[in-house]
Structure 1
Amino acid sequence: MQIFGVDIGGSGIKGAPVDLDKGDLAQERCKVLTPHPATPDGVADGVKQVVDHFGWTGPVGLTFPGVVTGGAMVRTAANVDKGWIDTDARALFSDRLGGLPVTVVNDADAAGVAEMQFGAGQGRRGTVVLLTFGTGIGSAVFVDGLLLPNTELGHLELNGKDAEKKASSKAKEDEDLSWEHWARRVQKYLAHVEMLFSPELFIIGGGVSRKAEKFLPHIEGIKAEMVPAQLQNNAGIVGAAMRAAQDQHV
């Protein structure tokens, strides 16, 4: 069975049909740049471009980089235009896509759901924390496989600032940090999250998961097991499709 998944990020909007039996993309994904400013109308146009690329006419699952309640309402917008706050994203995207059934979910929650079902979290009990390092830091917290939605741990305070301002992969790029220097920042952040949640496993996701060997070996003193996301940067697309299938009872 296939459902379309779209992952909306601070730098790109990417999507593809997803094979829900395999937990993988059924076709090569299409990606467009996220508009700046990332207004609701501008992002909706980008989503339509991605979906239209495949001529898709079925249910669509979308991730959003912020708190989303009830599969529809946007409550925060840290790395996109503030006009998103209190927007009914499901209604906006469905209207732009010609009335297609739409489900919207927090981006890291979507990635986490995919990793727990098909990736690094398969069969893991206890507390598992997935963290996506990208434009910001997203988080998904699971206890015995059940998701605690919209945790947004990237906004924990670290040295007087939002943690994602210092430890996201965007911070690494903006400040031209070496992998080792950036890993020390990530280590401080992970130690803070570990102190709060005592997870058995950290899954490290986002685009940097493809280069885990460059920074994970430099992270020390963390008691929890640390592994890169297996679905890497496709996890959000897969998870969005999974949630849409669940929401639409497909």
Structure 2
Amino acid sequence: MTSTDSTTDTPGAAPADGTHERRGFGIDVGGSGIKGGIVDMDTGLLIGERVKLLTPQPATPSAVAKTIAAVVNEFGWTGPLGVTYPGVVTHGVVQTAANVDKSWIGVNARDIISAELDGQDVTVLNDADAAGLAEEHYGAGRNQTGLVILLTFGTGIGSAVIHNGTLIPNTEFGHLEVGGKEAEKQAASSVKEKKGWSYEKWTKHVTEVLVSIENAMWPDLFIAGAGSAARPTSGCRCSKTAPRWWPRPCSTRPGSSARRWPPPRT
């Protein structure tokens, strides 16, 4: 997401209070909640508190766009913003809708959200892709060359692939078949909670998914994101080739990287 001063709307400007933070605004659209807040573009961390509103049901494009606008208006933000969406997005147009209403498919999310915000500049990006960019710029993938794969473990499994700092968008590794079943149906954190597995048992399934992805991609680094990654993962063996399996709770804000995609044309 392009950084901006929340009072002057000048990209990259420092806040009017005299601090030197470059600020941006990120929105995360989830199946149950829509969260937003101001982000320090130098660190990727939230400035102050975030606001969370319940995702409207049904989560139609119009209803979600109005809720996003309500979150943004809580801060009086009038500059550009990045929005992360739980599905495939190409050129601003939604292609899949797993956790929101199916009427999203084929909708230009960028346009409908911008219209609710009186024409504010909006970039919409797959949520896992945004998390991957955030980790590449601020977190575990910073200064990492080669191929980096981020997996987010939640209701399903999201994925992001970055090669030498460039995002390869809209990978859906959660839907890969592993051992005759979709990866996310056997290794998502929601499966662990539903079945009451120990972390040791769950990470065996995670390892099977990692090995399958590794056999196809041979990454230099795996990064795990989302809530379950904050807990111990000692039972999850490092893959054969990737030197590190890096579990982390994604403390950086994916929305802060939404405006980093697509890259500028040369």
Structure 2 length-normalised TM: 0.83
Correspondence for 2:54: 33
Q: Does the CA-based 8 Å contact 1:63-1:107 persist in structure 2? A: yes
Cα–Cα, structure 1 residues 82 and 140, in superposed 2: closer, same or farther, change >3 Å? same
Correspondence for 2:235: 218
Question: Does 2:64 align with 1:43?
Answer: yes
Match of 1:146 among 160, 166, 172: 166
Match of 1:99 among 95, 119, 126: 119
Question: Does 2:236 align with 1:236?
Answer: no
Gap runs ≥5 in structure 1? none
Number of residues of Structure 1 aligned to a counterpart in Structure 2: 241
Greater radius of gyration (CA) = 2
Question: Does 2:24 align with 1:3?
Answer: yes
Question: Does 2:179 align with 1:162?
Answer: no
Cα–Cα, structure 1 residues 61 and 23, in superposed 2: closer, same or farther, change >3 Å? same
Aligned residue for 1:217, secondary structure, equals: coil
- 1:161 Cα shift? 2.9
Tell me, in whole angstroms, the C-alpha distance in 2 between the residues paired with 1:239 and 1:22.
Answer: 11
Tell me, in whole angstroms, the C-alpha distance in 1 between the residues paired with 2:247 and 2:118.
Answer: 37
Aligned residue for 1:58, secondary structure, equals: coil
Match of 2:74 among 53, 72, 76: 53
Aligned residue for 1:27, secondary structure, equals: strand
- 1:201 Cα shift? 0.6
Q: Does the CA-based 8 Å contact 2:200-2:234 persist in structure 1? A: no
Cα–Cα, structure 1 residues 15 and 241, in superposed 2: closer, same or farther, change >3 Å? farther
Aligned AA (1:140): A
Aligned residue for 2:62, secondary structure, equals: helix
1:18-47 CA deviation, whole Å, 9 max, x = no partner? 111222212221122333443223322331
Question: Does 2:217 align with 1:200?
Answer: no
Q: Does the CA-based 8 Å contact 1:114-1:242 persist in structure 2? A: no
Structure 1 length-normalised TM: 0.88
- 1:241 Cα shift? 5.2
% of aligned pairs identical?
A: 50
Gap runs ≥5 in structure 2? 1-21
State which drifts further: 166-175 or 127-136: 166-175
- 1:242 Cα shift? 4.4
Aligned residue for 1:57, secondary structure, equals: coil
Tell me, in whole angstroms, the C-alpha distance in 1 between the residues paired with 2:260 and 2:235.
Answer: 34
Correspondence for 1:121: 141
Note the aligned Cα RMSD (angstroms).
Answer: 2.0
Tell me, in whole angstroms, the C-alpha distance in 1 between the residues paired with 2:54 and 2:209.
Answer: 29
State which drifts further: 199-208 or 11-20: 11-20
Tell me, in whole angstroms, the C-alpha distance in 2 between the residues paired with 1:194 and 1:170.
Answer: 23
- 1:104 Cα shift? 0.3
Question: Does 2:106 align with 1:86?
Answer: yes
Cα–Cα, structure 1 residues 60 and 183, in superposed 2: closer, same or farther, change >3 Å? same
Q: Does the CA-based 8 Å contact 1:2-1:17 persist in structure 2? A: yes
Match of 1:177 among 167, 181, 197: 197
More contact order relative to length (CA 8 Å, sep ≥ 6): 1
Aligned residue for 1:26, secondary structure, equals: strand
